[in-house]
Amino acid sequence: MVRIGVNPARDQKSEYRPAPVTVACVVHIPALVGYHTHRLDILKLCLASILQHTPRPFDLMVLDNGSCAEVGEYLKALHAQGLIKFLISVDENIGKMGAFQILFRAAPGEIIAYSDDDVFHYPGWLEGHLEILNTYPNVGLVSGFPALAGIDHRVTSTLAFAQESPEVFEEEGNLVPEAWQREFALSTGRDPEVWVARSQEVRQKRLTYRGVKAYVTAAHYQFVTRKEVILEALPEEWTGKLMREMWLIDETIDRLGYLRLSTAERTVSHMGNLLDGRWLGEAEKLGIEISTRVTLPSSGRRGLRRLLMRLPGVRWFLQGLYNRLFWILSAPDDDPRR
């Protein structure tokens, strides 16, 4: 074996030091068609809101979880510009929990601020999260929006803290603004009227501790946590499931005695998979060029859709066809020449 010369990095030092906060994001956009037609634009707005509304210093870490070529090239361009500090690329979808297993262990910061790739971050979002994280004791997760889905689930430890601490002032009632609820329902494909009606039956609790307000709940599509806490909450085994495991983190955080809280003000918003006028306005303010325009179906077409969906077996057939086509189009390309 022959070796010539000395590695030029042998006596060099890196000036890089980990920022205290790692902003982490998992991206999964397998194709820019169907459900995902506008998802690249949503991703652009998500990352732009993070980059422009997050106080320095922080490291942005992105895990590309088997996205299509167009999304991969966009992320590589941001990485080349130094906007994404760490970019991890996976050649297939390993599931959200699997992505967490890699992402959170690799994050260099003591604080991890996680976001799905379809969340908009308002100015001051991180400061609002950290105020709760640094004020309340034994905090597990802090989210920027009190999503009513599961708002009264997996909060046993949080409610116990509220009952046991004489410094806590507790409110209960219809506390989350109706406008927030409607926008969240639309972004998640729910009927706003049904969602708002159901919300009237949900126990909404808000705490005040040492002058800082927080809702009793947290979301798993966006949260801020301490690295040591989230690593403790991750499951020990890989299941291979692509989705529907996130409640395990919520459950474990609660079982371990940590609090699950959300900021009293809405500091983030879930955008969904369409850019309406509101988000187009935000994109314009942030200087984001939108490549696709949203064309919603006419009321006549929506009426036809409802009629078809009432026919026996139609929904089952179309859903099965969609799922089959999705897996065909999303299958990894084994041809090394492409």
Q: For residue range 263-309, what is the model confidence (pLDDT) as tens digits?
A: 999 999 999 888 888 888 888 888 888 875 544 444 455 556 656 65
Q: Quick one: how far is CA 283 from the chain centroid?
A: 19
- Which pLDDT score is estimated for 190? 82
Q: Which residue has the higher pLDDT, 77 or 96?
A: 77
Q: Which residue has the higher pLDDT, 73 or 324?
A: 73
- At a CB cut-off of 8 Å and minimum separation 6, what does 64 contact? 27, 71, 72, 75, 87, 88, 89, 90
Residue 93 has pLDDT above 60, yes or no: yes
Distance, CA of 217 to CA of 205 (rounded, Å): 8
Q: Which residue has the higher pLDDT, 10 or 59?
A: 59
Tokens representing 332 are 């990894």
Q: Determine the 3-state secondary structure of 268 from DSSP.
A: strand
Confidence of residue 179 (pLDDT cuts 50, 70, 90): confident
- Mean pLDDT of the 110-114 span: 98
- Which pLDDT score is estimated for 129? 98
Q: b/e per residue, 130-155, with b = 16+ CB within 10 A? A: bbbbeebeebbbbbbbbbbebbeebb
Least confident of 27-41, 101-115, 170-184, 241-255: 241-255
- Mean pLDDT of the 231-240 span: 80
Residues in the chain: 338
Residue 262 has pLDDT above 60, yes or no: yes
Number of helices (H), then strands (E), in the chain: 12, 12
- Which pLDDT score is estimated for 338? 32
Confidence of residue 336 (pLDDT cuts 50, 70, 90): very low
E strand intervals along 144-267:
168-172, 205-209, 212-216, 222-226, 259-263
Least confident of 40-49, 199-208, 313-322: 313-322
- The amino acid at residue 104 is F
Confidence of residue 315 (pLDDT cuts 50, 70, 90): low
Residue 248 has pLDDT above 80, yes or no: yes
Which one-letter DSSP state was computed for residue 229?
A: H
Confidence of residue 328 (pLDDT cuts 50, 70, 90): low
Residue 335 has pLDDT above 50, yes or no: no
- Which pLDDT score is estimated for 241? 59
Tokens representing 113 are 């601020």
Counting Cα atoms < 13 Å in the Cβ hemisphere of 301 gives 4
- Mean pLDDT of the 96-110 span: 94
pLDDT, tens only, 155-174: 999 999 999 999 999 999 88
Helices (H), 139-237: 156-164, 178-187, 192-199, 227-233
DSSP H or E stretch at residue 305: helix 299-310
- Mean pLDDT of the 227-248 span: 78
Q: Quick one: how far is CA 219 from the chain centroid?
A: 9
* CB of 222 closer than 8 Å to CB of 143: yes
Confidence of residue 239 (pLDDT cuts 50, 70, 90): low
* CB of 80 closer than 8 Å to CB of 93: no
What does each C-alpha distance from 259 to 84, 135, 162, 274 come to in angstroms? 30, 12, 10, 33
Assigned fold of 21-270: Spore Coat Polysaccharide Biosynthesis Protein SpsA; Chain A (3.90.550)
Distance, CA of 171 to CA of 205 (rounded, Å): 6
Distance, CA of 30 to CA of 209 (rounded, Å): 43
E strand intervals along the chain:
21-27, 59-65, 86-90, 111-116, 119-121, 139-143, 168-172, 205-209, 212-216, 222-226, 259-263, 268-270
Residue 106 φ/ψ, nearest 5 degrees:
-85, -20
Residue 238 has pLDDT above 50, yes or no: yes
Residue 5 has pLDDT above 70, yes or no: yes
pLDDT, tens only, 51-64: 999 999 999 999 99
State the residue for tokens 């601490």.
Answer: 165
- The amino acid at residue 99 is A
Least confident of 43-52, 56-65, 232-241: 232-241
Q: Which residue has the higher pLDDT, 198 or 314?
A: 198
Sign of the CA dihedral with 209 first, then 199, 224, and 282 last: negative
Tokens representing 322 are 């969609």
Residue 85 has pLDDT above 80, yes or no: yes
- Mean pLDDT of the 22-48 span: 93
Distance, CA of 64 to CA of 27 (rounded, Å): 5
Confidence of residue 142 (pLDDT cuts 50, 70, 90): very high
Q: Could you state, in order of their start, the residue ranges of all structural domains in the chain?
A: 21-270, 302-330
What does each C-alpha distance from 221 to 26, 97, 138 come to in angstroms? 10, 12, 21
